Copies of this chain bind each other. A is one copy, B any other.
Amino acid sequence: MELRTLLHEILEEVRPLQQQGQVAQYIPPLALVPRSKLGLAVVTLDGEVHAVGDAEEPFSTQSISKVFTLTLAFQQLGEELWQRVGREPSGTAFNSLVQLESERGIPRNPFINAGAHVVDDIVLSRYAEPRTALLDFVRCRAANGAIADVAAVAEAERETGFRNAALANFLKSFGNLERTVDEVLAYYFFHCSLAMSCVDLARSFAFLAHRGICPWTRERLLTPSQTKRINALLLTCGTYDAAGDFAYEVGIPAKSGVGGGIVGIIPDRLAIAVWSPALNAKGNSLAGTAALERFTTRSGLSVF
A residues with a Cβ closer than 8 A to B are 86-92, 96-102, 108-109, 162-163, 165-167, 169-170, 172-173, 181, 224-225, 227-229, 231-233, 235-237, 241-245, 247-249, 251, 253, 267, 296-297, 300, 302-304
A contacts with B: majority SS: helix
Q: Are B98 and A236 in contact (CB under 8 A)?
A: no
Q: List, in ascending order, chain B residues with CB within 8 A of A92's CB.
A: 91
Bound together, the chains give a CA A138 to CA B97 distance in angstroms of 36
Bound together, the chains give a CA A94 to CA B248 distance in angstroms of 20
Q: Are A248 and B233 in contact (CB under 8 A)?
A: yes
Closest 6 CB pairs of A and B: A91-B91, A88-B244, A162-B173, A231-B304, A166-B169, A89-B89
Known: A88-B91, A88-B243, A169-B169. 20 other contacts (CB 8 A): A88-B241, A89-B236, A98-B101, A162-B173, A162-B181, A163-B173, A166-B166, A166-B167, A166-B169, A166-B170, A224-B300, A228-B296, A229-B248, A229-B251, A232-B247, A232-B248, A233-B244, A233-B248, A235-B247, A236-B243
Assuming A91-B88, A169-B169, is B232 touching A236 (CB within 8 A)?
no
Q: Are B163 and A170 in contact (CB under 8 A)?
A: yes
Q: Are A304 and B304 in contact (CB under 8 A)?
A: no
Bound together, the chains give a CA A229 to CA B303 distance in angstroms of 11
- Can you name the residue of chain B whose Cβ is closest to the Cβ of A253? B304
Report A108 CB to chain B, min CB distance, Å. 7
Bound together, the chains give a CA A181 to CA B165 distance in angstroms of 10
Assuming A88-B241, A163-B173, is B229 touching A236 (CB within 8 A)?
no
Q: List, in ascending order, chain B residues with CB within 8 A of A108's CB.
A: 91
Sample 8 A-B pairs with CB under 8 A, ordered by A number: A88-B243, A97-B98, A165-B166, A169-B169, A224-B300, A229-B251, A232-B247, A267-B304
